[in-house]
Structure 1
């Protein structure tokens, strides 16, 4: 029975380690995507300024920012789900530790390796949870920045829309998409 419990704990640890590696890789990918989005956003903002100065329709820029905003929102929801799952895993590990400690108290000189294993698992889950919370906070800030950029672009577009004209002398038609 003791060997079975140890094997089970080893399998849980390997599973947790695998999830941690996958999560860290996902976090890095998200950071890279966010960085790329920020660079693209800056490029789009510069392009938007250039477009305004030449009187060209900026609707495509707003659509791009809207799409980027939706993508960051999706990534943030994924990150929040990961945080919730890690909290659940941590609570379960803490319950398992409490049960193991309770069983160890019944035995006078029991094997403390199970308790230590649970403590290691809880520590690792705490670290994963902290990393996921950091990613989530970063994504929230990115979401706020992208939302603000989109709002400013839309306001500027609406202010300048009547002043833009095509080469044929017709005024361009502008629509504003708002994403919350």
Structure 2
């Protein structure tokens, strides 16, 4: 079997993915961000109905079969405790906390594949900003993709009388 070469077929240059990380998914667009990175920004603004949310993404091809993973930095208006963040994630449908650094327990694509929930770990305060939290998230992009997310958001909105 020939090696899988990325970032994607129509580009003039390719790299092997095995034993490698490629910091490019799709083609580069405005301001040297990729199409995939801008998709993350635009979809977040659209879903939350707020274009003022500051988002910066770097997408990376990683040699796994399934499950996306993200390092997420969240800055809030008020200071939050790690315990409050854990409790909020645990209470959210479709999300599970898997966060025990002392036992080396955190989400990984190998174990989140073929599961419907997203797993969140490495929950910690930012070293320099008291109003910021850092998280590591992993979830199966096929099981927990756009269609299931849309269905769950619609169900939530119906249950909370948010559809007018």
TM over 0.5: same fold? Answer: no
Bin the TM-score by the shorter chain.
under 0.3
Structure in which a larger fraction of residues adopt strand: 2
**More contact order relative to length (CA 8 Å, sep ≥ 6):** 1
Instruction: Using structure 2 for the length normalisation, give the TM-score.
Output: 0.24
In terms of Rg, which structure is larger? 1
More helix by share: 1
TM-score (ref. length: structure 1) = 0.22
